[in-house]
């Protein structure tokens, strides 16, 4: 039989490592002949855009390039699938394609929506008594998928964040003037990524002096008092804030991207710019905001070696699960111990992860709602560990184009 | 005799490598006893904040840490010195400090303002028949100092930029929808850094599809036409724009950071956000802007090995120049050949570099004002070359604190 694999949702630094894991495990199994990559997620199946991965990943060198290539090498999509009962023709079309290409198993690397697709597809194939297996491979920098200790992609984003934050802190420390630097970090509802900045503590660094998560109870009044307080002890105050933070006493809904005020003026800023402006007008010291933007999810040169290894391992495990007859499952990590760090790969019903969101534990947020407690450190530490070897040419990391 | 060294202006990834060069060359010369670091530039001299670098840089390991530490390890300042005739007491105070510490030579690592200070101090010491030597060590990511082929700090910022741009391009390519991504890059008057993105061409990449420099003649009308044109050929259009670009037919003065409109509303955006909004309203496709902010000058983990080596070499050469009796000079690079790349270190009267600005050559800007010609590639290539080895602990680059 043949298999197909696809990528969906926002890229991470290790979404291609999971693709590689699926490829390598399938390549090693004699029951599998062709390994197809579906371009732009499930849309590649529908639009007949499949590539034979064996032809492009012809040797270990090309596999190594795929592992360090940023973005989603097969292309991604953002498509929420309807229920099979709402659009049976769509599902019949997918089943036809699978039959045409003799695809016996499909692997979907993605986040919540992809797990929803995984669950719906596997339910559909079961309903038509098809033997096709569908397995979800988790992926998101947000670390917000249910029923797994963490998600592939998170550790690399957290490593990017801590390394970059250390560099920003050193830069800000150059001057002898009181200053505030606000760093806006991805995470609309879940603050895992922002919280991971607390790892700077392991290097003896007091920054970020303030950390605000969407899970906290935040007030603008409290924020300004926090900043004033930290400025008494530190010349340079660095603040980490999740993009999704809401300050309950602030009328900052208008400040968010794209909103228009009553005069028709565009407000182009996110929460970082909003807080910057608050510090400028209410405190009056030197202030700057930094939005880490796409770099958080695409800086493959700063991937965590642990994350890369795990992303590949979970792709491999997905293939083994499908060959064992599993379907409709998302692969998961179960943490056995923090130190020495050990995880087991298991799986869970994909439907159980499709619509939930795992937020940061409130017990790891300091009572003042502006810091992360030391109890979170053993959770984060192993996930960012290890600097991978990168293949370069003239100082540029080498990449591969599959499309 | 003893010597003193200080850092000034915005940090770069290699400002500490130049400090290390001064230290190592001085350490190896038996005529020099103590090597003092002046904290926060010239202010450390005035405020009696000197540290004995020999005590903190006690072995090769600590030297290696300094070389890879971001920011200005001695701290920086932004102080424009008055003319000696306008404030003779200030200069007399500096001379007293130098006498007190038996400082026979002073090395100032910085940009234009530091070269101005270098020129003024050396003129002052000459006017009082003092044998104290003052040497400027160039430093700026902007690459805009006169009379040198390039400046230490530029190559690393350019390497950060090209590596990051490649990652952003891969991320943007994941989706199958027409999109525009605008990357705002440092450079108020000089577009060297933005222009260096053309190096992606060496990897076979068409992006950035449009590059706009302050040196170009730009119109908003032309920009929108350029974007529309590129969208015909490319699904994902990536634009690199210098923060200092002015579009002559755009009333975007109000859009720049911190400006207030007639209703008292703050406009918080730079040129990237402004162009983003123009694309959104006039073209209507998916659009995003990214400001690379401080990361351009502090991402030491992406320093160029060539830049690091040269920054150290130019610090060493400064010490040799002072010991040979030179004063009031800025050390420079003279390029002997592009390939194989070879530079000679020379020097120039610091006063000649203090108030000028070297902008990007107009002949390397394409006639349409929206790209860089291939003729610029041999200039840029060697400057970004080489990935340095970085000492890590648990995935975090190690750094040193001198203060």
- Is B262 near chain A, with CB under 8 Å? no
Say what the pLDDT of residue B127 is. Answer: 97
Residues of chain B in contact with residue A236, where contact means CB-CB under 8 angstroms, are none
Q: What is the DSSP letter of B372?
A: B
- Residue by residue, DSSP assigns B313-371 as HHHHHHHHHHHTT--SEEEEEEEEETTTTEEEEEEEEHHHHHS---PPPGGGB-TTSSS
Are B94 and B56 contacting, i.e. CB atoms less than 8 angstroms apart? no
Q: Tell me which of A171, A196, A289, A303 to substitute to probe the interface with B (most B C-beta atoms closer than 10 Å).
A: A171
The candidate with the shortest Cα–Cα distance to B315, out of B37, B33, B44, is B37
pLDDT higher than 60, residue B49: yes
Are A112 and A138 contacting, i.e. CB atoms less than 8 angstroms apart? no
Q: What is the length of chain B?
A: 403
- For B382, which residue in chain A has the nearest alpha carbon? A394
CB atoms within 10 A of CB A119: 24
Q: Which residues contact A197 (CB under 8 A, 6 or more apart)?
A: A161, A162, A165, A183, A185, A208, A211, A240, A372
Instruction: State pTM to two decimals.
Output: 0.95
pLDDT higher than 90, residue B264: no
End-to-end Cα separation, chain A, in angstroms: 24
Residues of chain B in contact with residue A384, where contact means CB-CB under 8 angstroms, are 394-396
Say what the pLDDT of residue A258 is. Answer: 45
A354 φ/ψ angles, rounded to the nearest 5 degrees: -65, -40
pLDDT higher than 60, residue B80: yes
- pLDDT interval class at B322 (50, 70, 90): very high
Q: What is the pLDDT of residues B348-363, one digit of tens each?
A: 999 999 888 999 999 9
Residues of chain A in contact with residue B267, where contact means CB-CB under 8 angstroms, are 265, 268
- For A78, which residue in chain B has the nearest alpha carbon? B175
Exposed e or buried b per residue across A38-60, where buried means at least 16 C-beta atoms within 10 angstroms of its C-beta? bbbbbbbbeeebbbebeebbeee
Q: Which residue has the tokens 């760093």?
A: A183
Per the CB < 8 Å rule, is B40 touching A293?
A: no
Q: How far apart are CA A403 and CA B18, in angstroms?
A: 44
Taking each helix axis from N to C terminus, what angle separates B15-27 and B60-68, rounded to the nearest 10 degrees? 150
Say what the pLDDT of residue A250 is. Answer: 76
Q: Show the beta-strand stretches assigned E in B208-257.
A: 210-212, 236-242
- Is B177 near chain A, with CB under 8 Å? no
Q: Report the Cα A218 to chain-centroid distance in Å.
A: 25
B294 Cα to chain A: minimum distance (Å)? 7
Q: How far apart are CA B76 and CA A270, in angstroms?
A: 30
Per the CB < 8 Å rule, is B385 touching A397?
A: no
pLDDT higher than 50, residue B266: no
Q: What is the pLDDT of residues B107-146, one digit of tens each?
A: 999 999 999 999 999 999 999 999 999 999 999 999 999 9
- For B265, which residue in chain A has the nearest alpha carbon? A265
Say what the pLDDT of residue B251 is. Answer: 65
pLDDT higher than 50, residue B265: no
Say what the pLDDT of residue A370 is. Answer: 98
- Is B221 near chain A, with CB under 8 Å? no
pLDDT higher than 70, residue B103: yes
Q: Tell me which of A167, A258, A299, A382 to substitute to probe the interface with B (most B C-beta atoms closer than 10 Å).
A: A167
Bridge partner residues of A329 (DSSP): A135, A349
- Percent above pLDDT 90 for chain B: 92
Q: Tell me which of A174, A262, A288, A384 to substitute to probe the interface with B (most B C-beta atoms closer than 10 Å).
A: A174
Say what the pLDDT of residue A251 is. Answer: 65
Q: In this complex, how many residue pairs, one in chain A and one in chain B, have their CB atoms less than 8 Å apart?
A: 188
B146 Cα to chain A: minimum distance (Å)? 25
Active site residues of B: 142
Regions in chain A scoring below 50 on pLDDT: 254-268
CB-closest option in B167, B273, B386 to A299: B167
The candidate with the shortest Cα–Cα distance to B232, out of B283, B297, B171, is B283
Say what the pLDDT of residue A374 is. Answer: 98
- Is B170 near chain A, with CB under 8 Å? yes
Say what the pLDDT of residue B350 is. Answer: 97
With 0-12 / 13-18 / 19 or more C-beta atoms within 10 angstroms meaning exposed / middle / buried, residue B155 is: buried
Q: What is the pLDDT of residues B148-206, one digit of tens each?
A: 999 999 999 999 999 999 999 999 999 989 999 999 999 999 999 999 999 999 999 99
For residue A219, say if its preceding peptide bond is cis, omega within 30 degrees of 0. no
- Is A397 near chain B, with CB under 8 Å? yes
Say what the pLDDT of residue A107 is. Answer: 98
A275 Cα to chain B: minimum distance (Å)? 11
Residues of chain A in contact with residue B280, where contact means CB-CB under 8 angstroms, are 258
Per the CB < 8 Å rule, is A167 touching B301?
A: yes
SS3 sequence of chain A:
CEEEEEECCCCCCCHHHHHHHHHHHHHCCCCCCCEEEECCCHHHHHCCCEEEHHHHCCCHHHHHHHHHCCCCCCCCCCCCCCCCCCCHHHHHHHHHHHHHCCEEEEEEEECHHHHHHHHHHHHHHHHCCCCCEEEEEECCCCCCCCCCCCCCCHHHHHHHHHHHHHHHHHHHCCCCCCEEEEEEECCCCCCHHHHHHHHHHHHCCCCCCEEECCCCCECHHHHHHHHHHHHHHCCEEEEEEECCCCECCCCCHHHCCCCECCCCCECCCCHHHHHHHHHHHHCCCEEEEEECCCHHHHCHHHCCHHHHHHHHHHHHHHHHHHHCCCCCEEEEEEEEEECCEEEEEEEEEHHHHHCCCCCCCHHHECCCCCCECHHHHHHHHHHHCCCCCCCEECCEECCCCCC
pLDDT higher than 70, residue B268: no
Say what the pLDDT of residue B250 is. Answer: 75
Say what the pLDDT of residue A395 is. Answer: 87
Per the CB < 8 Å rule, is A168 touching B295?
A: yes
Handedness of CA B117, B122, B123, B129 (dihedral sign): positive
- Is A262 near chain B, with CB under 8 Å? no
Q: How far apart are CA A91 and CA A130, in angstroms?
A: 12
Enter the tokens of residue A143.
Answer: 């670390």
Mean pLDDT check: name the lowest of B267-276, B329-338, B354-363: B267-276
CB-closest option in A172, A203, A293 to B396: A203
CB-closest option in A269, A293, A397 to B163: A397
With 0-12 / 13-18 / 19 or more C-beta atoms within 10 angstroms meaning exposed / middle / buried, residue A253 is: exposed
Per the CB < 8 Å rule, is B276 touching A268?
A: yes
Q: Tell me which of B171, B387, B403 to substitute to probe the interface with A (most A C-beta atoms closer than 10 Å).
A: B171
Q: What is the ipTM of this complex?
A: 0.95
Per the CB < 8 Å rule, is A395 touching B40?
A: no
Taking each helix axis from N to C terminus, what angle separates A305-323 and A15-27, rounded to the nearest 10 degrees? 40
Per the CB < 8 Å rule, is B174 touching A268?
A: no
Q: Report the Cα A249 to chain-centroid distance in Å.
A: 30
Per the CB < 8 Å rule, is A305 touching B392?
A: no
- Is A66 near chain B, with CB under 8 Å? no
State mean pLDDT over B272-289.
95
Per the CB < 8 Å rule, is B265 touching A268?
A: no
With 0-12 / 13-18 / 19 or more C-beta atoms within 10 angstroms meaning exposed / middle / buried, residue A25 is: buried
- Is A300 near chain B, with CB under 8 Å? yes
Are B398 and B63 contacting, i.e. CB atoms less than 8 angstroms apart? no
Residues of chain A in contact with residue B7, where contact means CB-CB under 8 angstroms, are 174
- Is B139 near chain A, with CB under 8 Å? no
Q: What is the pLDDT of residues B219-263, one digit of tens each?
A: 999 999 999 999 999 999 999 999 999 988 876 554 444 444 334
- From chain A residues 190-209, the ones with a CB under 8 A of any chain B CB are 199, 202-203
The candidate with the shortest Cα–Cα distance to A318, out of A309, A329, A334, is A329
Active site residues of A: 142
Per the CB < 8 Å rule, is A397 touching B43?
A: no
Per the CB < 8 Å rule, is B171 touching A385?
A: no
Say what the pLDDT of residue A355 is. Answer: 84
**Residue B275: in which H helix or E strand, if any?**
helix B271-282
Say what the pLDDT of residue A259 is. Answer: 44
CB-closest option in B269, B293, B390 to A290: B293
- Is B302 near chain A, with CB under 8 Å? yes
Are A36 and A50 contacting, i.e. CB atoms less than 8 angstroms apart? yes
Residues of chain A in contact with residue B384, where contact means CB-CB under 8 angstroms, are 394-396
């Amino acid at each position: 039989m043949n298999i197909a694999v696809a990528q969906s949702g926002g890229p991470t630094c290790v979404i291609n490592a999971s693709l590689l894991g699926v490829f390598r495990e399938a390549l090693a199994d004699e029951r599998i002949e062709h390994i197809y990559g579906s371009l732009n997620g499930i849309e590649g199946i529908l639009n007949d855009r499949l590539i034979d991965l064996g032809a492009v990943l012809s040797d270990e060198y090309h596999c190594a390039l795929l592992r360090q290539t940023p973005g989603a090498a097969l292309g991604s999509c953002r498509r929420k699938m309807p229920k099979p009962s709402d659009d049976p023709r769509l599902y019949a079309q997918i089943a036809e394609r699978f039959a045409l290409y003799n695809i016996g198993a499909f692997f979907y690397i993605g986040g919540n929506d992809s797990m929803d697709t995984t669950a719906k597809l596997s339910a559909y194939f079961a309903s038509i008594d098809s033997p096709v297996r569908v397995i979800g491979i988790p992926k998101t920098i947000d670390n917000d998928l249910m029923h797994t200790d963490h998600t592939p992609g998170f550790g690399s984003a957290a490593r990017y964040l801590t390394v970059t934050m250390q560099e920003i802190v050193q830069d800000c420390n150059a001057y002898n003037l009181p200053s505030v630097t606000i760093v806006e970090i991805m995470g609309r509802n879940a603050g895992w990524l922002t919280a991971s900045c607390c790892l700077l503590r392991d290097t003896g660094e007091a920054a970020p002096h303030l950390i605000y998560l969407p899970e906290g109870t935040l007030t603008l009044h409290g924020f300004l008092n926090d900043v004033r307080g930290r400025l008494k002890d530190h010349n340079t105050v660095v603040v980490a804030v999740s993009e999704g933070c809401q300050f309950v006493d602030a009328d900052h809904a208008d400040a968010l991207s794209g909103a228009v005020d009553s005069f028709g003026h565009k407000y182009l800023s996110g929460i970082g710019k909003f807080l910057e402006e608050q510090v400028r007008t209410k405190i009056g010291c030197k202030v700057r905001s930094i939005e880490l933007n796409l770099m958080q999810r695409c800086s493959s040169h700063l991937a965590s070696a642990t994350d890369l290894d795990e992303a590949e391992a979970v792709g491999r495990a997905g293939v083994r699960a499908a060959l064992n007859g599993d379907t409709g499952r998302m692969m998961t990590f179960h943490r056995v111990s923090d130190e020495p760090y050990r995880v087991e790969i298991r799986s869970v019903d994909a439907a159980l992860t499709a619509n939930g969101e795992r937020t940061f534990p409130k017990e790891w947020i300091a009572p003042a709602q502006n810091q992360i407690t030391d109890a979170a450190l053993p959770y984060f530490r192993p996930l960012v560990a290890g600097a991978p070897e990168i293949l370069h040419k003239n100082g540029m990391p080498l990449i591969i184009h599959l499309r």
